[in-house]
Amino acid sequence: MVVGDVNSTIACALVTSKIALPKGKPRPLVAHVESGLRSFDRGMPEEVNRVVTDHLSDLLFVTEESGLRNLEQEGIPRERVFLVGNTMIDSLLASKDKADTSTVLDRLHLRNGNNGALQAKPYALLTLHRPANVDDPAIFKEILEGLGELAATHPIVFPAHPRTQKQIQQYGLESHFQSGAPGSNGQASPRNGILLVDPQGYLDFLCLMKHARLVVTDSGGIQEETTCLGVPCVTVRENTERPVTITTGTNVLAGVRKEGILLAIRQQLRQNSNNPSPYLWDGQAAGRIVEILLRQLTLQRAEEVVTRPMPVAALREAKA
The catalytic residues are 129
Q: Which of 45, 69, 272, 27 is nearest to 35 (CA)?
A: 69
Which residue type is seen at 40? F
Show the CA angle centred on residue 83, arms to residues 79 and 87, nearest 5°.
130
- Three-state DSSP at 48 gives helix
For residue 77, how far is the Cα from the chain centroid?
26
For residue 292, how far is the Cα from the chain centroid?
23
**In the chain, where does DSSP find H-type helix?**
7-18, 45-56, 65-73, 87-95, 104-107, 131-134, 137-146, 148-153, 162-170, 202-211, 220-229, 244-247, 258-269, 285-307, 312-319
Q: Do 177 and 145 meet the contact criterion of CB atoms below 8 Å apart?
A: no
Q: Do 155 and 182 meet the contact criterion of CB atoms below 8 Å apart?
A: yes
Residues facing residue 214 across a β-bridge: 124
- Three-state DSSP at 276 gives coil
**DSSP run (H or E) holding 217:** strand 214-217
Distance CA 315, CA 320 (A): 9
